[in-house]
Amino acid sequence: MARVTNRQPGAIPDVTALPVSAAGPRRDDATDGPEPAERAAVERARGGDEEAWRELFDQHYPRLLRFFRARVDSEATADDLAAEAFSEAYRGIQGFRWRNRPFGAWLFGIARNRLRMHYRSRRDAAELPDNLPQLRDEYIDVEIKDALAALPDDQRAAIEYRYILGLSGEEAAAALGRSHGAFRALLHRATLAFKQEYGTE
């Protein structure tokens, strides 16, 4: 859960100082392309190296699971969706291309599609609205939630993915179906809007 601690009356926290999720450190938004260790692990995984798959699982699965748990009502459903997304990555690894983005961005693109398929099947609709459901309230403090609720949906989602769920810039961009550059511009606008909503600039 994201929290702003030791806040003085009238003080406005910097949204970029919101704590990262327990899933671990984020890659910097300005970083393009994969880390050398990740590239090596992915290439080994392509060759069927099970240890490489364990490394990728340990690195990415906690954030993948947190992504789904924040978006669906049932933890069991979240577990199933995360497992399905990672299984799809396992089956499709030969088709993965770097294209100057990390493996995690590709994985969260798969996660986004899985989530949309999940809601499409529940609503029995041919099309699903572009805006995915909001984060469950338990993940956000009331004071932050109120400010986020006033933002446009895309700006709210940018802050939620980047600072509350702790996705990297590339992963959050993929989860929203945007390029990394477009996401960075969106996050910049969202940050300014959040600070204004929260009180002062």
pLDDT digits (tens, 9 = 90+) for 58-110: 989 988 998 888 888 888 999 999 999 999 999 999 988 877 778 888 898 89
Higher pLDDT pick, 26 / 121: 121
Q: Determine the 3-state secondary structure of 91 from DSSP.
A: helix
Q: What global pTM score does this model have?
A: 0.64
Q: What is the dihedral of CA 75, 78, 80, 83, to 10 degrees?
A: -130
pLDDT band at 144; cut points 50, 70, 90 = confident
Distance (Å, whole) CA 201 – CA 193: 9
pLDDT number for residue 143: 63
Q: What is the mean pLDDT of residues 14-28?
A: 42
Shortest CA distance to 107 belongs to which of 34, 32, 182, 20?
Answer: 34
pLDDT band at 165; cut points 50, 70, 90 = confident
CATH architecture of structural domain 32-198: Orthogonal Bundle (1.10)
Higher pLDDT pick, 163 / 34: 163
Q: Determine the 3-state secondary structure of 140 from DSSP.
A: strand
DSSP string across 142-170:
HHHHHHHHTS-HHHHHHHIIIIIS---HH
pLDDT at 14 over 50: no
Give me the residue spans of the domains in the chain: 32-198
Shortest CA distance to 109 belongs to which of 158, 156, 176, 42?
Answer: 176
Looking at the DSSP assignment, which residues form a beta bridge with residue 140? 2
pLDDT digits (tens, 9 = 90+) for 48-62: 999 999 999 998 998
Other CB atoms within 10 A of residue 116 CB: 16
pLDDT at 29 over 70: no
Q: 79 with 66: CB under 8 angstroms?
A: no
